[in-house]
């Protein structure tokens, strides 16, 4: 299978890539940090020598760069079986006093990147009448919380995008799954001082996505909510 994963160099993206690489698939990985991406791709190739690991450095906050990544995908493989719109970023703050431009940046990274890439790749899925799209939303897509600010707005928007996409594409045999993880231990939490045992693991989310991808063509897991055992922080 051909699997496209954005934000693939660290955290959730890396865990997701690792889960799929073990199955001998072709992975098309994209991320902004070239060094991290190349290092991670090399690690995956060593871990799963039977897989084909391709990577492309791009800026998810820039439309032209996102489209360049999509064009590279279409040049590299004949079809896309799975698209994981995982790339995203978090900037804490409150709507009434966060720095000017925060909303625009969050929307560009957390919504527009998925919107533009999906629009470029989905025509091939429609032609094949198959495919599975995973959109990395958040618990913040469901509930507002203090210090969520523009990030939460962007994740609500991504959730709406994903739900609309599900309705539009089901008649073409294409699945759309909204992933809504709670606090998950990644590099961004390492300096927080929070006990890692209080958070779920990135592998937990990756395993759920992989499992969802293995269901029959007749089943579509629309929404996966995954929280730490003790609930939200």
Distance (Å, whole) CA 15 – CA 68: 24
Give the three-class secondary structure for 41. Answer: helix
Distance (Å, whole) CA 228 – CA 161: 25
Determine the length of the chain: 233
CB 55 within 8 A of CB 112: no
Q: How far is CA 99 from CA 59, 113, 154, in A?
A: 21, 21, 16
Question: Would residue 145 show up in a list of annotated catalytic residues for this protein?
Answer: no
Rg (C-alpha) for the chain, rounded Å, is 17
Residue among 112, 151, 159, 185 flagged as catalytic: 151
CB 179 within 8 A of CB 136: yes
What residues contact 107, with CB distance under 8 A and at least 6 apart? 150, 153, 154, 157
Max Cα–Cα distance, the chain, nearest Å: 51
Of 19, 7, 11, residue with least CA distance to 214: 19
Distance (Å, whole) CA 94 – CA 72: 37
Active-site residues: which are they?
151
């Amino acid at each position: 299978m051909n699997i496209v994963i954005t934000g693939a160099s660290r955290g959730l993206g890396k865990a997701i890539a690792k889960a799929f690489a073990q199955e001998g698939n072709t992975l098309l990985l994209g991320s902004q940090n070239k060094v991290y991406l190349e290092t991670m791709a090399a690690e995956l190739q060593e871990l799963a020598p039977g897989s084909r690991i391709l990577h492309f450095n791009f800026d998810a906050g820039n439309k032209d760069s996102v489209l360049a990544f999509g064009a590279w995908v279409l040049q590299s493989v004949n079809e896309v079986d799975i698209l994981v719109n995982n790339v995203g970023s978090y900037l804490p703050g409150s709507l009434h006093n966060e720095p000017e431009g925060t909303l625009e940046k969050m929307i560009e990274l957390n919504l527009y990147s998925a919107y533009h890439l999906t629009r470029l790749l989905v025509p091939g899925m429609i032609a094949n009448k198959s495919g599975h799209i995973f959109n990395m939303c958040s618990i913040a897509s469901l509930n507002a919380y203090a210090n969520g600010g523009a990030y939460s707005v962007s994740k609500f928007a991504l959730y709406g995008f994903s739900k609309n996409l599900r309705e539009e594409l089901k008649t073409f045999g294409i699945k759309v799954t909204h992933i809504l993880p709670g606090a998950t231990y990644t590099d961004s939490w390492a300096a927080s001082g929070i006990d890692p045992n209080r958070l779920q693991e990135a592998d937990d989310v990756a395993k759920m996505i992989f499992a969802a991808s293995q269901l029959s063509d007749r089943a579509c897991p629309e929404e996966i909510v995954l929280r730490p055992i003790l609930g939200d922080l």
